[in-house]
Amino acid sequence: MKTLKKRSEFLAVAKGGRVGRRAFVLQGLKRDCDDAPRIGYTVTKKTGNSAARSRIKRRLRAAVAALDANDIPQHADFVLVGRESALSLPFQNLVSDLKSGMPLALDPKSGQRRRKPRSSNGKPGPETVPSRKQG
């Protein structure tokens, strides 16, 4: 399977649907062209040292390689954001989570619900604070 390499491709996929799983977050976006599906892998620095991040990416690549061609939706791009639990989760569970999440990631409405924005100081805005009685 072809991989995403450019930052602009990763950012485009991030605007699509999103599905959270135990070992990863799967982002997906449908494309109009007839090319084969592509996938990108990323693991943030908060996850661990470089050896741990590399092991997570290798396990995710192996899970994608274990899928059948029929399990991967065509005309789509995907990004796998690895989590630390990808190292301890059994491989078959990793593959089944990936298989079940791919169709869901292409529908932005079925993915994770986006949180309401907060004010700049991180606290809820004044409309959510109950009013107190003066007296």
CATH number at residue 8: 3.30.230.10
Look at residue 26 and tell me if it is in a domain: yes
pLDDT for position 107: 77
- The CB density around residue 56, as the number of other CB atoms within 10 Å, is 25
Question: Is residue 115 included in any domain, yes or no?
Answer: no
Q: Is residue 108 over pLDDT 70?
A: no
Q: Is the model more confident about 134 or about 113?
A: 134
Nearest-10 Cα torsion for 19, 8, 72, 3: -130
- Say if 113 falls within a structural domain: no
Does 127 reside within a domain?
no
Does residue 124 lie within any of the structural domains? no
Q: Reply yes or no on whether the pLDDT at 74 is more than 60.
A: yes
- Considering the domain boundaries, does residue 120 fall inside one? no
122 found inside a domain: no
Mean pLDDT of the region 3-31 = 91
| pTM attached to this predicted model | 0.75
Question: In terms of residue numbers, what domain contains 51?
Answer: 2-106
| Inside any domain, residue 68 | yes
Contact 69, 111 (CB under 8 A): no
Domain count, the chain: 1
